[in-house]
Structures are given as C-alpha cells and as structure tokens.
Amino acid sequence: MSQLLVEYPLKRPHVSDPPLARGADGVLRYGNLTPALTELLDLQVHAFSTREAVVEVGGPRMTYRELWHSASRIAGGLQEHGIGYGDRVAVHMPAGVRWVQAFLGALLSGAVPVLVHDGLPDAIAEQVIADSSADFVLGREIARGAELPDGAAYIDDGAALGDLALLSYTSGGLLGPATPKGVELTNENLLSAIRSVVAALDLPTDGLRNLVLLPLAHASGCVDQLLPTFAVGGTVVLARDTRDLAEAIVAERIDMVSATPRIFAGLLPELAAMRGDGLSTEGIARISKAGHRAERAAAAQAAPADLAAELRAMFPTARQWSVWGATETSGIGLAVDDAAESAADSDAVLGFPFGGTELALWGPKAKAGCGELLCRGPNIAPRYWNDPTATAARFAGTWFHTGDQVTIDADGLVRRDPAQDE
C-alpha cells in the first residue's frame, strides 16, 4: 500500500495571530523578530539590568548587567584565542551560573555554541565534540575552578535570522544506544521558539522566577526555559542536584518549576514531607513538564499513575503544561494543560500544536488519523550537522519526520500510539 501524507490544518486561535504569516514556502513565520538572538537578549539586559538573571542554589547569583558584562568579557577572551564568527565552541560543563556565562560568552563572540551534556559518557562526549569540529572547548575543568576566557568586552552583533546560532545534539548517547546527531538551529528557530513558549505559557514580565531542572544542554532546557525566561526579564534558578529543593522553592520565591516527569516524581515525597511541616506551595503559578520520547516512556514507569493529579494536589494554584518536542523542533511543537490532559489518557496525550507548528500524518492509515507525525513551522531545524543522509531521510521539503507513531483527533489533539513502545 502506498504511503500517504495528510495535512492537518491548524484550528487553534494562534493561526490568526498577527505576527504569524505564511511565507512563500508555505511555512508560518513570525514577521517581527529581532535579527538575532543576541539582539533580543541585549534589549532585555538594558530593560532589566538590575534584576537577577540567574541564580545557582547554594552558589553565585548575577543580575542581567553583571551576566552580560561577564559574558562579553568571555567573548573577548575567546576572540583573543582566535574564535570568531561561525566557529564552534563546545560547552561541556555541569548546569550552573558558570554554564550560563560560558554559553552566552560563546554566543556573544559570534561563535556557535555546541551543547554537550555533562551526563554523557566520556567517549560519547568526545565523539560529539569531534563531530562538531569544535574550535574551542569550555569544559569540566572550568566547573572545578579553572578560569573562563577573559578579555576586553566584545559583542559580535552581525548575525542574521537564517544564520546558524546553536548546535544541539539529540539525546541518543544519554537515553539509549543511538549515536547523538547534531541539529542545526538558526536564529529564526530559536527566536520563534522563544516567542511561542512565552505566548503559550503566558510568561509574565513582572519578575518570573523559574526553577529550571531540565538539562541546559538540551533544547528543552536551554531553548524552551532558559531563553524564554530571559526574554521576559525573569530569573532562572538552577540546582546542581535535587537535594534541598523544597527549601529552595521557598527561599528563592519560586513561582514556576520546569522539569521532566521523572524529576517531578522524585520531588513529590520530599515536598509532601515539607508540606506536613508547614511548607506552602501556593506561590507556584506554573508547572512545565517536558521530556524526550525515551524519557517519557521511562518516566511512565517511575512516576505515579496520575502525575498531573499528584502535582495538582501539591501545587493547588499552579497551572500545568506538558510540552512535547524534539531537538529538531527546537524542543517544542505540542502542548497541553492539565485540564485537557486529565480528560484523556494522560500517558498517551502529547498535546495540541502551538506557535506556528503545523502537523501532518504519514503512512497508509493517515486518512484515518493514524500514522507517523510530521511537523513544520518556524521552529523546525533546516538540517542535521554534517549528515546529508540523515537529513534527506528525516527532512522532506518543509516537513520533519519525527519518527513518532501517533493519532490525531478531530480537535487536533495528538496522542502517542502505544504500539510504538511495545
């Protein structure tokens, strides 16, 4: 039987959102983005200079002005090492304030940051760094006390929307035997994802304090939490581990928590014990759950049968979102709030498209609403790094083949096909 591609037209309100317009290639795009990510961040630094930008639980904290100044000096130091526009700078460090400094320093130097997860086995991490042809590595020795590059403050602001801005690797070596693939994310991809997350999660500009427990070396942590929080002048709170997080939620006046389902499941007993001791969690207004497909499957075994209900009992005033995405989609694409999720099989629900993401199904049963999920939108990467074969297999015209077998109902809600986990 021949393969069929069936598009599912958007029915959600954002289709008529004025900033979104269909380009000549048929893709919905934002028409009022800044030319580059660095320019957006620069605007926020000047608007919120004295606000805290990043805090490490039990460690350093920096205002926007302090973070930007230190990052520009790191950029200057990288320039003195011969790093410039288009070079690759690998960031292979544990999450923390110094990670954020290193990432922004690489960005401001004009280079392309390469995200290398600190949890990767050494052999896989070395493979990723070699595959990226990294010109410089900001590595673990920095987290152990070595100095970051330092020089005269420098900012390269010559990038354009279509330029490569970030090289993010798929989670293969961390969650399974597959080899990680480098995904090229452009300034337009990043800025579109930021705009989409800010709108979908209704992030406020009055001092959001987001406890980010997602890995910063993945699109879900960096692109979908760190950068959108900066875009609204909020504070990113980071923790090296999950010990004493309940106390940190109170001490840091957290009003949003972002983590994987597995991490949330692990936090519930500690939070429950502290609630018994008088901990109030009513200040938490937003909960964001995200995770890769393999991680979601593992979390289903480790988490309570109804994690959304458990979290609702723990954070009674918080609105919950589950966000689905892949590295190739800048970590976003589908989202569902707890009200819609609780009305269906929460383990299978992936969500509704948002932020310009459009969907199609591929396969012999596509017309019946079942098949491989395809996505297109302004957040979709153009290609894999240095891998034309994989690019040709997964990126067909404007559509990205996710590899996920799903169903799509009449309202546009996407559910995972349980058969793919068997």
Is residue 299 pLDDT above 60, yes or no? no
Sorting pLDDT into bands at 50, 70 and 90, what band is 282? Answer: confident
Give the model's pLDDT for residue 14.
45
Residue 174 inside a domain? The answer is: yes
Residue 90 inside a domain? The answer is: yes
> Model's pTM, two decimal places?
0.93
Give the model's pLDDT for residue 1.
39
Q: Residues with Cβ < 8 Å from 313, sequence gap 6 or more?
A: none
Residue 388 inside a domain? The answer is: no
Q: In what helix (H) or strand (E) does residue 11 lie, and over which residues does it extend?
A: none
The string over 287-301, giving b where at least 16 C-beta atoms fall within 10 Å of a residue's C-beta and e elsewhere, is bbbbbbbebbebbbe
Q: Pull the structure tokens for residue 46.
A: 């000047």
What is the number of residues in the chain? 422
Q: What mean pLDDT is predicted for residues 22-34?
A: 92
| 187: containing domain | 32-347
Burial class (CB in 10 A: 0-12, 13-18, 19+), 229: buried
Q: What percent of the chain is predicted at pLDDT more than 70?
A: 88
Quote the Cα angle for 59-64-67, to 5°.
Answer: 60
Residue 27 inside a domain? The answer is: no
Residue 218 to residues 200, 206, 223, 260, 312, Cα–Cα distance (Å): 20, 27, 8, 12, 27
> Contact 236/54 with Cβ under 8 angstroms?
yes
Taking only the tens place, the pLDDT of each residue in 46-79 is 999 999 999 999 999 999 999 999 999 999 999 9
Burial class (CB in 10 A: 0-12, 13-18, 19+), 113: buried
Instruction: Collapse the DSSP code of 410 into the 3-class scheme (helix H, G, I; strand E, B; otherwise coil) and give the result.
Output: coil
Residue 407 to residues 361, 384, 414, Cα–Cα distance (Å): 8, 27, 6
DSSP summary character for residue 180:
P
Instruction: Collapse the DSSP code of 304 into the 3-class scheme (helix H, G, I; strand E, B; otherwise coil) and give the result.
Output: coil
CATH number at residue 265: 3.40.50.12780
- Nearest-CA neighbor of 413 among 366, 319, 344, 347? 344
Residue 118 inside a domain? The answer is: yes
Could you give the residue ranges of the DSSP H alpha helices within 91-226?
97-108, 122-131, 140-143, 172-175, 187-200, 219-221
Helix 37-47 to helix 187-200 angle (10° resolution) is 50
> Contact 118/167 with Cβ under 8 angstroms?
no
Residue 16 inside a domain? The answer is: no
Give the chain's domain count.
1
Residue 14 inside a domain? The answer is: no
Burial class (CB in 10 A: 0-12, 13-18, 19+), 204: middle
Sorting pLDDT into bands at 50, 70 and 90, what band is 331? Answer: very high
Taking only the tens place, the pLDDT of each residue in 350-408 is 999 999 999 999 999 999 999 999 999 999 999 999 999 999 999 999 999 999 999 99
Is residue 258 pLDDT above 60, yes or no? yes
Q: What is the DSSP string of 216-276?
A: TTSHHHIIIIIHHHHHTT-EEEE-SSSTTHHHHHHHTT--EEEE-HHHHHHHHHHHHHHHH
Residue 100 inside a domain? The answer is: yes
Angstrom distance (rounded) from CA 354 to CA 197:
9
Give the model's pLDDT for residue 18.
57
Q: What mean pLDDT is predicted for residues 131-139?
A: 97
